[in-house]
Chain A
Amino acid sequence: MENLAVRPEPAKASPKSVRIASKAVLWLLCLGPAFWLVWRGFHNGLGANPVEYITHKTGDWTLRFILITLAVTPARKLLKQPQLIRFRRLFGLFAFFYGCLHFTTWFWLDKSLDFGEMWKDVVKRPFITVGFVGFVSLVPLAVTSTAGWIRRLGGRNWQRLHRLVYLTGAAGVVHYYWLVKSDVRLPVMYGAILAVLLAFRLKR
């Protein structure tokens, strides 16, 4: 496998101003779902069970951003656009951002910030266990997402560590699958997308 970590592409094609602008636009797009939730919150648009709505939407976006992050490498290769690597960290950090919102909503509004209650659920309920594992697995990835950490760990170790995201994706899908009562169409769809993205890596 090609070592992506230590070789941020030089991206000779685009001048600095374009790169900054494209990142700014992407930032706003990625914040879109969060703004959307806030806007709906102020316009009575969160439905009869707002807490559940927020929990579900932030969960959806966590999983989506994990999949988007995992899609960057295949997209670079298939579209022959290696400079897309620039955006991978941003997507990954947004997965972590929505994961934090998702976890916090649950821990605060469902568990009333009670660590004991939280831990009881984590230990007892497989769907929460696996969701929690997925969330926790994002923490080291977010922490070591900087250029400094790539240097400190060395590219090879850094990349090894960041393969943890495969586990995050699987945990997210299973978490969702175990949550629903009978209509598994959406979690199965996310599972299929994840499988394709991971299969792409096996192929090489």
Chain B
Amino acid sequence: MLIEKPSDLKYSDVTPKAVYTNRREFLAALGMGGALLMTHEADAGTKLEVSSKSPFSTTEKINSYQDVTTYNNFYEFGTQKNEPAEYARNYRTSPWTVSVEGLVEKPREFDLTSLMKLAPLEERIYRHRCVEAWSIVVPWAGYSLSALLKSVGVSPKARYVAFQSDYDPKQMPHAYGIRFPYVEGLRLDEAMHPLALLCFGMYGEALPPQDGAPVRLVAPWKYGFKSIKSIVKIKLVEKQPRCTWNEMAPSEYGFYSNVNPHVDHPRWSQANERRLGELFRRPTLMFNGYEKEVANLYTGLDLKKNF
């Protein structure tokens, strides 16, 4: 389902009864024992139950697990790309809670297990394009963020979704270079787009810490930094929320930050990119190749101004 503008949303759109009752049933079924048994699903490397393939998946060659886990931008664990793999190694992701709050009918603090069980996990093989002009192809595992938003019931006043990463200075002594905690945001209709993935795993396993364990966002038509990692809070709001990089350098990183080969970063070209594992650069695709899916979200919007 594509929702063009936030104003098109009806209450019934965002909280279908089926989802709502489903959640109840699930919660009822989930006893203490179940919760204990399932805590281990959060640990990095644990195999995940991935129910289905997704039509959104690309058939492009997947990058190696090695590439995706040793080349990370995750400033909480160091500013060099090889650092998160080392400095996030002992990051504790259990217990973990995600608070869903703000303009919602039923604000709720989810523990990771119940959050993971909210909808079946799908494998989504997405292209991932960093604002630094490199890219990877990753088999993520998760479900559309819309499933979560529908389950809590988005108030009609909500226009944006604000996300916040965990920030624990004790566990993140190498955090540097930006303001913490890391925050990001999407317009509500972007967040409701089925491509926007609430992601718990990759390569059939729970996320490793350096890739955003235990739960992250993946918005594949946007530059990678929009896909916030290690989420602890999701808040539905009326005004455009703060976004870390946008705040750091507004002329370089826009709120939208849609992948766009025609709008260069002030310091480098975005017309092409280096796919990890390839020697020469390849052209960058509009909306990172998801133009067919997401272009209608931005009808009438000047993408050069709203970069």
Q: Contact at A47–B274, with CB atoms within 8 Å?
A: no
A17 within 8 A of B: no
A2 within 8 A of B: no
Q: Which of B47-94 contact A (CB under 8 A)?
A: 63, 66-68, 70-71, 75, 79, 81-82
A51 within 8 A of B: yes
Please report the C-alpha to C-alpha distance between residue A52 and residue B132 in the assembled complex, in whole angstroms.
11
With a cutoff of 8 Å between Cβ atoms, the chain A residues found around residue B279 in the complex are 51, 109
With a cutoff of 8 Å between Cβ atoms, the chain A residues found around residue B70 in the complex are 47-48
Q: Which residue of B lies closest to A110 (CB)?
A: B281
Q: Which residue of A lies closest to B281 (CB)?
A: A110
Q: Contact at B276–A48, with CB atoms within 8 Å?
A: yes
Q: Which residue of B lies closest to A121 (CB)?
A: B269
Instruction: Show 15 residue pairs from A and B whose CB-CB distance is below 8 angstroms, ordered by the A residue.
Output: A47-B82, A48-B276, A48-B277, A49-B81, A49-B274, A49-B276, A110-B281, A112-B280, A125-B268, A125-B269, A127-B268, A182-B79, A183-B75, A183-B79, A183-B177
What is the distance, in angstroms, from B199's C-beta to the closest C-beta of chain A? 20
A49, A121, A126, A127: the one contacting B134 at CB < 8 Å is: A49
A47, A125, A182: the one contacting B267 at CB < 8 Å is: A125
Q: Which residue of A lies closest to B80 (CB)?
A: A183
Q: Contact at A183–B176, with CB atoms within 8 Å?
A: yes
Q: Which residue of A lies closest to B269 (CB)?
A: A121
With a cutoff of 8 Å between Cβ atoms, the chain A residues found around residue B79 in the complex are 182-183
With a cutoff of 8 Å between Cβ atoms, the chain A residues found around residue B27 in the complex are none
Chain B residues touching A, majority SS: loop
Please report the C-alpha to C-alpha distance between residue A183 and residue B281 in the assembled complex, in whole angstroms.
26
B178 within 8 A of A: yes
Q: A109-B280, A183-B79 are contacts. A48–B67 as well, Cβ < 8 Å?
A: yes
A178 within 8 A of B: yes
What is the distance, in angstroms, from A191's C-beta to the closest C-beta of chain B? 17
With a cutoff of 8 Å between Cβ atoms, the chain A residues found around residue B67 in the complex are 48
Interface residues of A (CB under 8 A from B): 47-49, 51-52, 109-110, 112, 121, 125-127, 178-179, 181-183, 185
The count of residues in chain B whose C-beta lies closer than 8 Å to any C-beta of chain A is 26
Please report the C-alpha to C-alpha distance between residue A182 and residue B79 in the assembled complex, in whole angstroms.
9
B177, B249, B281: the one contacting A112 at CB < 8 Å is: B281
Mask of B172-212 contacts with A, CB within 8 angstroms, 1/0: 00001110000000000000000000000000000000000
Please report the C-alpha to C-alpha distance between residue A79 and residue B248 in the assembled complex, in whole angstroms.
45
What is the distance, in angstroms, from A189's C-beta to the closest C-beta of chain B? 14
What is the distance, in angstroms, from B283's C-beta to the closest C-beta of chain A? 12
With a cutoff of 8 Å between Cβ atoms, the chain A residues found around residue B75 in the complex are 182-183
Q: Which residue of B lies closest to A182 (CB)?
A: B177
Chain A residues touching B, majority SS: helix
With a cutoff of 8 Å between Cβ atoms, the chain B residues found around residue A51 in the complex are 274, 279
What is the distance, in angstroms, from B180's C-beta to the closest C-beta of chain A? 12
What is the distance, in angstroms, from A154's C-beta to the closest C-beta of chain B? 42
What is the distance, in angstroms, from A163's C-beta to the closest C-beta of chain B? 29
Q: Which residue among B67, B68, B134, B268 has the maximum number of chain A CB atoms within 10 Å of its CB?
A: B268
Please report the C-alpha to C-alpha distance between residue A121 and residue B268 in the assembled complex, in whole angstroms.
8
Q: Which residue among A52, A126, A127, A185 has the maximum number of chain B CB atoms within 10 Å of its CB?
A: A52
Q: A183-B79, A183-B176 are contacts. A48–B267 as well, Cβ < 8 Å?
A: no
With a cutoff of 8 Å between Cβ atoms, the chain A residues found around residue B132 in the complex are 181
Please report the C-alpha to C-alpha distance between residue A178 and residue B277 in the assembled complex, in whole angstroms.
26
With a cutoff of 8 Å between Cβ atoms, the chain B residues found around residue A126 in the complex are 267
Q: Which of B28-56 contact A (CB under 8 A)?
A: none
Q: Which residue of A lies closest to B68 (CB)?
A: A48
B248, B269, B281: the one contacting A182 at CB < 8 Å is: B248
What is the distance, in angstroms, from B232's C-beta to the closest C-beta of chain A? 22
Q: A109-B279, A125-B267 are contacts. A48–B66 as well, Cβ < 8 Å?
A: yes
Q: Contact at B267–A52, with CB atoms within 8 Å?
A: no
With a cutoff of 8 Å between Cβ atoms, the chain B residues found around residue A47 in the complex are 70-71, 81-82
Further 16 A-B residue pairs, CB within 8 A, beyond A48-B63, A49-B276, A112-B280: A47-B71, A48-B66, A48-B67, A48-B68, A48-B277, A49-B134, A51-B274, A109-B279, A125-B269, A178-B267, A179-B267, A182-B75, A182-B79, A182-B177, A182-B248, A183-B75
Please report the C-alpha to C-alpha distance between residue A51 and residue B71 in the assembled complex, in whole angstroms.
13
What is the distance, in angstroms, from A46's C-beta to the closest C-beta of chain B? 11
With a cutoff of 8 Å between Cβ atoms, the chain A residues found around residue B134 in the complex are 49, 52
Please report the C-alpha to C-alpha distance between residue A183 and residue B175 in the assembled complex, in whole angstroms.
11
With a cutoff of 8 Å between Cβ atoms, the chain A residues found around residue B268 in the complex are 125, 127
Please report the C-alpha to C-alpha distance between residue A185 and residue B277 in the assembled complex, in whole angstroms.
29
Mask of B269-306 contacts with A, CB within 8 angstroms, 1/0: 10000101101110000000000000000000000000
What is the distance, in angstroms, from A126's C-beta to the closest C-beta of chain B? 7
